[in-house]
C-alpha cells in the first residue's frame, strides 16, 4: 500500500486501495440499519466528541486495573461443578494478580467476589467485563425463554460490573432482577442493590434495557433505574437537573402504581431539548394515561417539532411508524 493509499485510510483524502475498497463494500452490506427487531429505538452519534474517548480510557483503566480475583460458588476458591454442554459459550476468568490459575466457566456456574477482590472476565472475542467487590455473576444459557437472539448471556445477581463490548447488536445480554440489558455496542456500568433494583449507566454507545413491562434505550451519558416486576424507568440524562430527574421518577412511580400521575407539570416544565429523550419515552409508554400522553405530545412538539410522518393523532394512538419517525428527528446526541 503506497503513501496515497495511506492518506485515504487516514482522512480519505487520497485514492483508495482496491483491496480496501472491496472490503468496505462487503462490510457495507452488513451495516446495521439502526432498528431493533421490534419497537425500533435510536442509534446516533455520541453527545459530545470527547465522551467516547474519555469513556474508552476509563473503561480500559477499569478493565486492566484490577489486582486479585478469586473464583467461587458459595465462598470456596474453585470452579463449582456444572453440567456442561459442548456447544455452550465458554468464558475465561483470568488472574490479574495472585497465585490462582486461569479458569473457564459455562452454563450454571458463578463468579463471586469478596469485599477486597475484583474479577476480569473475557466474553468470547467480543469484549470483557470487570466484576466489582461483593458481587455475584452467573452464566445463563441463552434460549427462547430468556434471550433467543443472544449468543452470550450472563446474570448479575448482586453487586456491580463494568462491561465493555464491541460486537454486533444484541449478541451480549446481561440479565438483572429488573430486566435484560441488551448491548448495542457500548461501555456501561450496572449495579444491583440488595432489593433487586438495578441502576444502569452508559459511558459510551447505547443499551436497550428490556422487560415485559417496558423497553427503553439508554444512550451515552444517560441512566435508567429498573425494579423487579416493573422493568426500567424513563431514562434521563445524568447532567439533567436533579430536581427534574426526581420529578420524572415521581411520575414513573405514580403511573407504575396505577395512581393519578404525579409531577407531570414539573416534568413538562423543562426547556432543554435534550430532555426529549425522557419525553419521547414517556410518550411511547403504553401505561401513561391518554390525557397525560396528550400533554407530553404537545410539550415535546414545542421543544422539537415532529416531522410530517409523526402526526399528533398517530402518536397518541402509539402507531409505531409515527413514533419512530419522530424519534429519528430528535437530537439525542448519541
97 and 151 fall within a common domain: yes
Is the domain of 165 the same as that of 244? no
Residue 291 included in any domain: yes
Q: What are the E-state strand segments in 77-151?
A: 91-93, 103-105, 110-112, 119-123, 127-131, 136-139
Q: Is the pTM of this model over 0.75?
A: no
The pLDDT of residue 111 is above 80: yes
In a domain? residue 14? no
pLDDT at 334: 52
pLDDT at 59: 43
Are 227 and 248 members of one domain? no
Q: Is the pLDDT of residue 24 over 60?
A: no
Query: Sign of the C-alpha dihedral, residues 271, 276, 278, 279?
Result: positive
Is residue 323 located within the same domain as residue 260?
yes
Identify the three-state secondary structure at position 143: coil
Note whether residue 280 is domain-resident: yes
Query: Do 41 and 180 sit in the same domain of this protein?
Result: yes
Instruction: Give the residue-averaged pLDDT of 159-182.
Output: 92
- Are 228 and 282 in the same domain? no
Per the CB < 8 A criterion, the answer to whether 315 and 295 are in contact is no
The enclosing domain of 104 has a CATH number of 2.60.120.1440
Q: Answer yes or no: is pLDDT of 77 > 50.
A: no
d(CA 184, CA 189): 14
158 in the same domain as 52: yes
Q: Are residues 111 and 185 in the same domain?
A: yes
Q: Which domain holds residue 294?
A: 237-334
Confidence label for 33 from pLDDT (cuts 50, 70 and 90): very low
Decide which of 202, 233, 264 is a domain's last residue: 233
Please report whether residue 11 resides in a domain.
Answer: no
User: Do 180 and 198 share a domain, yes or no?
Assistant: yes
- Any domain includes 6: no
pLDDT score of 87 more than 80: no
Query: What would the mean pLDDT of 222-245 be, rounded to a whole number?
Result: 96
Same domain, 56 and 174: yes
Please indicate, yes or no, if residue 24 is contained in any of the structural domains. Answer: no
In a domain, 3, yes or no: no
Give the per-residue SS3 of 195-210: CCCEEEEEEEEEEEEE
Q: How many domains does the chain have?
A: 2
Question: Mean of the per-residue pLDDT values for the chain?
Answer: 77
Q: Which of 233, 264, 279 is the last residue of a domain?
A: 233
**Residue 167 in this model has a pLDDT that exceeds 50:** yes
Domain assignment present for residue 259? The answer is yes
Examine the pLDDT at 130 and tell me if it is beyond 80.
yes
Res. 280 pLDDT band, cuts 50 70 90? very high
Residue 178 has pLDDT above 80, yes or no: yes
Q: Which of 218, 233, 248 is the last residue of a domain?
A: 233
Asked if residue 213 and residue 248 are part of one domain, the reply reads: no
pLDDT of 333 above 80: no
Angle between helices 276-283 and 290-303 (to 10 degrees): 150
User: In this structure, are 145 and 287 located in the same domain?
Assistant: no
Query: What pLDDT, on a 0 to 100 scale, did the predictor assign at position 283?
Result: 97
The pLDDT score that the predictor gives to residue 92 is: 66
Amino acid at each position: 500500500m503506497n503513501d496515497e493509499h495511506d492518506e485515504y485510510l487516514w482522512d480519505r483524502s487520497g485514492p483508495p486501495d482496491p483491496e480496501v475498497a472491496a472490503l468496505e463494500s462487503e462490510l457495507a452490506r452488513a451495516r446495521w440499519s439502526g432498528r431493533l427487531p421490534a419497537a425500533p429505538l435510536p442509534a446516533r452519534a455520541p453527545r459530545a466528541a470527547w465522551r467516547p474517548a474519555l469513556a474508552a480510557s476509563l473503561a480500559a483503566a477499569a478493565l486492566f486495573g484490577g489486582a486479585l480475583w478469586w473464583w467461587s460458588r458459595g465462598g470456596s476458591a474453585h470452579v463449582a461443578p456444572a453440567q456442561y454442554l459442548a456447544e455452550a459459550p465458554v468464558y475465561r476468568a483470568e488472574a490479574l494478580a495472585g497465585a490462582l490459575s486461569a479458569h473457564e466457566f459455562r452454563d450454571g456456574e458463578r463468579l463471586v467476589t469478596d469485599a477486597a477482590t475484583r474479577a476480569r472476565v473475557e466474553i468470547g472475542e467480543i469484549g470483557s467485563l470487570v466484576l466489582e467487590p461483593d458481587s455475584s455473576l452467573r452464566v445463563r444459557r441463552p434460549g427462547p425463554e430468556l434471550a433467543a437472539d443472544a449468543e452470550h448471556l450472563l446474570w448479575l445477581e448482586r453487586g456491580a460490573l463494568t462491561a465493555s463490548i464491541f460486537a454486533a447488536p444484541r449478541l451480549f445480554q446481561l440479565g438483572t432482577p429488573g430486566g435484560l440489558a441488551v448491548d448495542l455496542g457500548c461501555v456501561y456500568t450496572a449495579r444491583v442493590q440488595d432489593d433487586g433494583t438495578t441502576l444502569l449507566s452508559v459511558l459510551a454507545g447505547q443499551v436497550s434495557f428490556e422487560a415485559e413491562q417496558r423497553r427503553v434505550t439508554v444512550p451515552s451519558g444517560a441512566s435508567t433505574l429498573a425494579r423487579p416486576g416493573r422493568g426500567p424507568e424513563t431514562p434521563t440524562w445524568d447532567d439533567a437537573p436533579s430536581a427534574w430527574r426526581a420529578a420524572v421518577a415521581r411520575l414513573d412511580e405514580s403511573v407504575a402504581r396505577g395512581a393519578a400521575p404525579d409531577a407531570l407539570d414539573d416534568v413538562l416544565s423543562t426547556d432543554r431539548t435534550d430532555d426529549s429523550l425522557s419525553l419521547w419515552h414517556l410518550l411511547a409508554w403504553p401505561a401513561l394515561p391518554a390525557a397525560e400522553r396528550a400533554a407530553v405530545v404537545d410539550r415535546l412538539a414545542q421543544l422539537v417539532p415532529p416531522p410530517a410522518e409523526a402526526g399528533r393523532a398517530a402518536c397518541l394512538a402509539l402507531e409505531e411508524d409515527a413514533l419512530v419517525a419522530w424519534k429519528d428527528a430528535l437530537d439525542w446526541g448519541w
